[in-house]
Amino acid sequence: MAVRTPRQIGEDVWKTRIEKVNAELVTLTYGSVVAQLCKDFTNDYIQVNEQLDKMGYNIGIRLIEDILARTNSERCRSFKDTAEMISKVGFKIFLNITPAILNWSQDNKQFSLIFDDNPLSDFVELPDDGKAINELWYSNILCGVLRGALEMVQLQVEAKFVSDVLRGDDTTEMRVTLIRVLEDEMPVGDE
Amino acid sequence: MSFYLAIIGSKDNAIYSLDFGTYRQGGDGTSKFSADVRQLCPFIVHSSLDIIEEVQWTNSAMHLKVIDKFYNYLISAYVTSGNIKFLLLHETRADEVIRQFFVDLYDLYVKTLMSPFYSVDQAITSKVFDQRVKMLAKKYL
């Protein structure tokens, strides 16, 4: 069988093997989670970002297994392949979007995902307390998802948003940086 | 011609208000209420809430048309299923145009309501909403 491109894998799985749910259900559920976090942390948005990231991490470490099981795709040979898989397979099958991959750094260890369309932030207007617009990364859960998912395949990355249309920026951009490839390490104290 | 729009919450609390004028017949979109009439507008509009309360249960339509008069001014009302009331104070009768205006306003209101940081009966402070309402006013009235 010919090697399939990430785009084909993504399209294929999305069409045949994914159960769909109503987009507004997802949007409103995520919205109420964020709003509730803001309430619980009395509008300490830095904390809220952190919590969303943690929640995402816990989702990510599970989702990666799901992706790999559904797509039975091969090991990525470079970080560029990984980026392709994230956009064309990962985001495609879970959110039906394929963020553009741009702005590679010289050493190929950093890239940006540009979200033209972000189903999580439909209808959303950030609170106008003058603080949220500078501090809250509304879709920060996605950063955690990437971090968690990639950690399970031995890639330690840092993911963070650098701009968001909700804040009035032109684009929604997430910067992903490869920190190191984790080696299979012996657990401490294990002979 | 001048208009005064008020959105009233389910507990009869004011959520949003705007006064504006027509763009037709060379109008520039600003209201031409005299100072004391402008001050009276919220009172005139709120006083028709009692009438709405009676009419809304006898009429299954959401657009209740003109429900009240105050000297030369007419008050049209639209009640959503969630008991949010849109009230418009205007000078001439134009049921159909006002109905379209209300329907589109309802759409805008629903979009605002869908934002996770907005809760029912909270005052609408969004600038986007404000702008869009003004666009609607320009389009229809």
- B126/A128 touch (CB, cutoff 8 Å), yes or no: yes
Cβ of B126 under 8 Å from any chain A Cβ? yes
pLDDT at A18: 86
CB-based contacts of A37, cutoff 8 Å, min separation 6:
A48, A51, A52
B84 φ, ψ to 5°? -95, 135
Cβ of B115 under 8 Å from any chain A Cβ? yes
Place of tokens 């997430």: A174
Size of interface A-B (CB pairs under 8 A): 31
pLDDT at B71: 87
**Structure-token pair, residue B22:** 């027509």
Inter-CA distances, B51 with A106, B30, B78, Å: 70, 29, 12
**Structure-token pair, residue A114:** 């540009």
Place of tokens 């389910």: B10
- B128/A125 touch (CB, cutoff 8 Å), yes or no: yes
B84 CA: distance to closest CA in chain A (Å): 19
Which of these, A50, A73, A125, lies nearest to B122 by C-alpha position?
Answer: A125
**Structure-token pair, residue A145:** 């998802």
Which of these, A137, A174, A148, lies nearest to A34 by C-alpha position?
Answer: A137
Pick the residue from chain A with its C-alpha nearest to B111. Answer: A123
E strands, B9-92, are 14-21, 63-70, 73-79, 85-90
- B111/A123 touch (CB, cutoff 8 Å), yes or no: yes
Q: Tell me the per-residue pLDDT of B71-102, one tens digit each, with 9 for 90 and over.
A: 889 999 999 999 999 999 999 988 899 999 99
Which of these, A30, A33, A34, A57, lies nearest to A120 by C-alpha position?
Answer: A30
- B114/A35 touch (CB, cutoff 8 Å), yes or no: no
CB-based contacts of A72, cutoff 8 Å, min separation 6:
none
Of A34, A122, A125, Cβ closest to residue B126 = A125
Cβ of A21 under 8 Å from any chain B Cβ? no
A166 CA: distance to closest CA in chain B (Å): 12
What is the amino acid identity at position A106? Q
A112, β-bridge pairs: A102, A175
Place of tokens 């990984």: A82
- A28/B118 touch (CB, cutoff 8 Å), yes or no: no
pLDDT at B24: 80
Place of tokens 């491109």: A5
Q: How many other C-beta atoms can be found within 10 angstroms of the C-beta atom of residue B119?
A: 9
Domain map (residue ranges) of chain A: 6-181
CB-based contacts of A95, cutoff 8 Å, min separation 6:
A119, A120
A168 CA: distance to closest CA in chain B (Å): 12
Q: Tell me the per-residue pLDDT of B16-60, one tens digit each, with 9 for 90 and over.
A: 999 998 888 777 878 888 888 889 999 999 999 999 988 888 888
pLDDT at A104: 95
Averages of pLDDT over runs of 10 residues in chain A (191 residues) are 80 88 93 95 95 96 91 87 93 94 94 94 90 94 96 94 94 95 72 55
* CA pair distance B31, A178, nearest whole angstrom: 59
Domain residues for the domain of B128 are: 2-140
Among B111, B117, B118, most A C-beta atoms within 10 A, so best to mutate, is B117
* CA pair distance B67, A184, nearest whole angstrom: 76
Domain count, chain B: 1
**Separate counts of helices (H) and strands (E) for chain B:** 4, 5
Mean model confidence pLDDT for chain B: 90
**CATH 3.30.1380.20 corresponds to the domain A6-181:** yes
Which of these, A77, A53, A70, lies nearest to A147 by C-alpha position?
Answer: A53
B106 CA: distance to closest CA in chain A (Å): 15
For A57, the enclosing helix (H) or strand (E) is helix A45-71
pLDDT at A2: 62
Supply the CATH number for residue B66's domain.
Answer: 3.30.450.70
Q: Is the dihedral of CA B9, B12, B17, B22 positive or negative?
A: positive
Which of these, A141, A142, A146, A137, lies nearest to A166 by C-alpha position?
Answer: A137
